[in-house]
Structure 1
Amino acid sequence: MKLTVVIPVYNEIQTIEEIIRRVQAVEIEKEIILVDDCSTDGSREYLRTLNVPNIRVLFHEKNQGKGAALQTGFEHVTGDVVVIQDADLEYDPEEYPLLLNPILAGKADVVYGSRFLTGAERRVLFFWHSLGNKFLTFLSNMITDLNLTDMETCYKMFRAEILKEMKIEQKRFGFEPEFTVKIAKKRYRIYEVGISYHGRDYSEGKKIGWRDGVAVLWHLLKYRFFV
């Protein structure tokens, strides 16, 4: 079993070297696909220096968004299982085995790493941001008839075959609701596991804002009822 780790990168020069080190330290056969979304802070130049057998680096010539970076990465997957990894150190690669276990056991096709279904450590940050996440998950559950606790989580791990059965369209943070609605409609077996979370605040580079949250509602409705 080979794991493909897809890492979208946009202006993460402060953390990119460390996240690669942490992913590499996980004792699972893996390939790492990094997609730079036209960074301007030196991330792009750093990635050009990498020459490691199990790392592939792809570049966008203009900034398109996280979803677009994921689409580019998905096109080059050769592993059996795929996991999405942000480059900002909010999520811990040491927890890959937690997400992988239900898939290896033959119980799950997709596993979400929940920041709320957990007894693990979690940085205490914004009340309204966390409430917004829970509200969007609530709306997602109403529309999909799932009972997720964290639809917006970065950690989504799934069998690579799913990519052959699904076309992702959204180029920004709309990827999360689009993916969730589509796997629900196809009735894939979905599990959640609790994960730790080391969130950043906006001064540390957090990028998602309230406008992205508002857009999620439209994407949920679009992919549930109109696509």
Structure 2
Amino acid sequence: MELSIIVPVFNEEKTLPAILDWLIALPADKEIIVVDDASGDGSGAILQRYAGTGRIVLLRHGENQGKGAAIVTGLAAAHGEYTVIQDADLEYDPDDILVMLAEAKRHHAPAVFGSRVRNIASGISYRRYYWGGRFLTFLANLLYRVNISDESTCYKMVRTDLMKSLGLTCRRFEFCPELVAKLGRRKIPIREIPIRYHPRKMEEGKKIRWHDGAEAIWTLLRYRLGAK
């Protein structure tokens, strides 16, 4: 199997059918692993219907643990050569996953990131998030010499065996800096391709907050200082 797509879900009933149908239609040898992080809306019922068709693998948390924890749960069940993360909110275009996979296979790359910054036409959400992301990217490059342009992109595709070997412990939104830090410490090369991005607003359900940015900064720093 070429690809495992992990979809962490928490209260995404409005966009779930569209994103799942899109992923299912992708022409790739894939598995779609959806982790319901104790959603309180109609997401659970929607996911149960899709799981009943056999087109997705559905895993559930009994209580809300965070996006990072959902990714770690999904990763444990992944069997594809590569694993990629897909948010359920339609901010990212799943067709770009195929381009990333082709890039990974063409160059035998251990990691390929999708960069919103490299796509000039891509909208970046609220100025504070744009500059916050740019600062995190600067810090990641400074501390780990990874030479990337978009540290906080959702689209991170990594060889599954490699990702599993990193020992990820993230719980919330610190998945991105932890993954970058642990790849950087091993000097794993990261390729990038431009991707499309359609940001949503806070009132539309965007969940990241300023304190998540502070946690991301601390995550980058503590792994540089030797945290396991």
Give the TM-score normalised by the residue count of structure 1.
0.96
CA contact 1:110–1:157 (8 Å) conserved in 2: yes
| Equivalence map 1:57-96=2 (5 Å) | 57-96=58-97
- State the Cα distance separating 1:105 from its structure 2 match: 1.3
What runs of 5+ residues in structure 1 fail to find an aligned partner?
none
1:37 corresponds in structure 2 to 37
Q: Distance in 1 between matches of 2:124 and 2:164?
A: 38
- State the Cα distance separating 1:49 from its structure 2 match: 2.0
2:6 corresponds in structure 1 to 6
Q: Distance in 1 between matches of 2:16 and 2:144?
A: 35
| Equivalence map 1:1-227=2 (5 Å) | 1-50=1-50, 51-119=52-120, 121-123=121-123, 125-227=125-227
Q: Distance in 2 between matches of 1:84 and 1:164?
A: 14
Change (3 A) 1:123 1:164: closer
Q: Distance in 1 between matches of 2:62 and 2:34?
A: 14
SS of alignment partner, residue 58 of structure 2: strand
CA contact 1:9–1:35 (8 Å) conserved in 2: yes
SS of alignment partner, residue 49 of structure 1: helix
CA contact 2:76–2:164 (8 Å) conserved in 1: no
Instruction: Give me the identity figure in percent.
Output: 41
Q: Distance in 2 between matches of 1:46 and 1:71?
A: 22
Amino acid across the alignment from 1:140: A
Q: Distance in 1 between matches of 2:212 and 2:191?
A: 25
- State the Cα distance separating 1:57 from its structure 2 match: 0.4
- State the Cα distance separating 1:124 from its structure 2 match: 5.3
Give the TM-score normalised by the residue count of structure 2.
0.95
Which digits, 9 at most, give the CA deviation of each residue in 1:166-208, with x for residues without a partner?
1111100111111001011112221011001000000100000
CA contact 2:100–2:157 (8 Å) conserved in 1: yes
Which digits, 9 at most, give the CA deviation of each residue in 1:29-84, with x for residues without a partner?
11100000000011012212222334100110000100000010001001111110
SS of alignment partner, residue 91 of structure 2: coil
RMSD: 1.2
CA contact 2:124–2:197 (8 Å) conserved in 1: no
Q: Distance in 2 between matches of 1:188 and 1:136?
A: 19
Amino acid across the alignment from 1:55: I
CA contact 1:30–1:54 (8 Å) conserved in 2: no
What runs of 5+ residues in structure 2 fail to find an aligned partner?
none
Amino acid across the alignment from 2:156: K
SS of alignment partner, residue 192 of structure 1: strand
CA contact 1:107–1:189 (8 Å) conserved in 2: no
